[in-house]
Structure 1
Amino acid sequence: MRQRWIGVLLTLAACVATVWLWLDGGLGLYVHPRYFAFTVVAAVVGIVVVVASFIVRVPADEVADGGVGRRAWRRALSIVVVVLCVFGAGSLILLPPATLTSATADQRSVNGGTVVGAGAQQATGDTADFGVKEWATALRQSTDLQGIAGSPATLTGFISADPDDPQNVFFVTRFFVTCCAADAQPVGVAVYQPDWKQSLALDDWVEVTGAFDLNPSVKSRQPMVLVPQQVSEVDEPNDPYVY
């Protein structure tokens, strides 16, 4: 019987937290928008199932469970699980959901995943609407970086350091999400600004306006960088991820 109620509490905690995040506008920090409807419907169905479980009566388990010591151990484990369920659900509801940061970007390697999306079009065409994802993809796919040199760009993202030259080069970074935050892949465009840490910091959200050129850094392995004309700190957008 106790195991049944643990399962009920786990389901209820997860479903209520999911619906709350959706109502509060924070679900996008965990799930791709295309899956919002599926996720919310599944959570509502889960809540209905939980309510039904209160109505359905299960016969009491009269089988001996192995003695007083074993019962005490199982009771203690049950209490721990219940506390963790309540704490987890409460954290999702009461604490603001956090965006992935430069620490995660370093762990997953900026531009280290599969090239994705709309940046496959030629960067020599209309690039007025290119964002971080499109430029990062175009730079990786281009066989003529000289043709990109001089192209203007205005990009918004958070700062993560170039591991090869963290003093002079940083990435304007965004997380590309295909399903949920667990599979989010950091994509970024390298920016050459010597001693950038004097005026900026990791995880600062910035808008960088400039033009592309060959990388003057002798340490960085990024062949092309955005040479900034202006770097402005901005607020984190309501939807920090790209899709």
Structure 2
Amino acid sequence: MSADRFASRWVGLVLVALTAVATLWLAVTGRLDLYVHPRYTVFVVVMALLALAAAIGAAVVLSFREGADAHAGHGHAGEHERGDGHAGDVDGAPRRRAGTRIAVVTGSAALVAVSIVVLVFAPPRTLSVSAAAARTDSTVGAVQGASEPSGDPSAYTVKDWSNLLRQGRDDEVIGQRAQLIGFVQADPDDPDSFALSRFVITCCAVDARPTSVTVYSPGWSSTLGVGDWASVGGTFAANPSVLSMSSVALLPSSVAPVGQPSNPYLQ
């Protein structure tokens, strides 16, 4: 089989199969939740299984077709050999075009294959503080698709408190105690405050958006660094800072560095 025919018939199927296997591997190892919302895990796994089954089925069909083409080709071999001797005069343009197609397909396939290998074998990295800064917009409202917090406020997350504050419900928040875990972002307006942040996933990591609450803690940078994960306990109050843009802040009674949670994203 020529390289051109291989590129046009088989490379796509191989990449589909590799992508499906990589997706299933992430699901088996428990890392798929770092890329898609848990509510879509079953859907993604089912689609990966269907894609793998389709790729295998198409490979079987192509194998039979290749065998039939090869058998038919033997029957015409003698006719080609009895040609008029001008085979060598065929224009080289089709061959050059075929070579270009092979190069493009091979390069694309190599890029996708390397990406799949990195996705499977490289340790997954969560979205960074720089990504949070790039995706933060202080003018937006509550996290899109967020549900109304309910139940015991002591179980509220950074997302829950942030949504209440963004809705202007300061009176409901002030005086409430909270114990929160998030990563540290510097407050660009007030060196005595920092933002305790989490990423919230709606569908997948691509659409993740940061949400945060302001923590008023003079001298915080002596024990915490930007990007560190911390557990902060305290009470919400009117922000004593005259520099911060936040009207309400968490006044901490305890601040302790912690490790990154196994699932760093909130849903």
Q: TM-score, normalised by structure 2?
A: 0.80
Q: CA RMSD in A?
A: 2.3
Which of 24-33 and 208-217 deviates more? 208-217
Contact kept? 2:174, 2:237, Cα under 8 Å: yes
89 and 126 in structure 1: CA distance in 2 versus 1, 3 angstrom threshold: closer
Q: TM-score, normalised by structure 1?
A: 0.88
Are 2:226 and 1:199 aligned? Answer: no
Q: How many residues align?
A: 236
Alignment-derived partner of residue 8 in structure 1: 13
88 and 132 in structure 1: CA distance in 2 versus 1, 3 angstrom threshold: same
1:47-100 Cα offsets, whole Å, 9 max, x none, are 11111121112567x9x9943332322222222112112201100110121111
Tell me the distance in 1 between the aligned counterparts of 2:164 and 2:48. 39
Alignment-derived partner of residue 155 in structure 1: 180
Alignment-derived partner of residue 172 in structure 1: 196
Contact kept? 1:119, 1:136, Cα under 8 Å: no
Structure with larger Rg? 2
Higher helix share: 2
- Whichever residue aligns with residue 139 of structure 1, its letter is L
56 and 65 in structure 1: CA distance in 2 versus 1, 3 angstrom threshold: farther
Contact kept? 2:141, 2:166, Cα under 8 Å: no
TM-aligned CA deviation for residue 147 of structure 1: 5.2
1:1-243 matches, within 5 Å, as 1=5, 2-57=7-62, 58=65, 66-109=93-136, 113-116=140-143, 117-119=146-148, 126-143=152-169, 145-146=170-171, 148-165=173-190, 167-243=191-267
110 and 204 in structure 1: CA distance in 2 versus 1, 3 angstrom threshold: farther
The percentage of counterpart residues that share the same residue type is 36
- Whichever residue aligns with residue 162 of structure 2, its letter is A
- Whichever residue aligns with residue 72 of structure 1, its letter is G
3-state DSSP of counterpart to 2:213: strand
TM-aligned CA deviation for residue 148 of structure 1: 3.1
Gaps of 5+ in 2: 74-90
3-state DSSP of counterpart to 2:153: coil
TM-aligned CA deviation for residue 29 of structure 1: 0.7
TM-aligned CA deviation for residue 162 of structure 1: 2.3
Which of 67-76 and 95-104 deviates more? 67-76
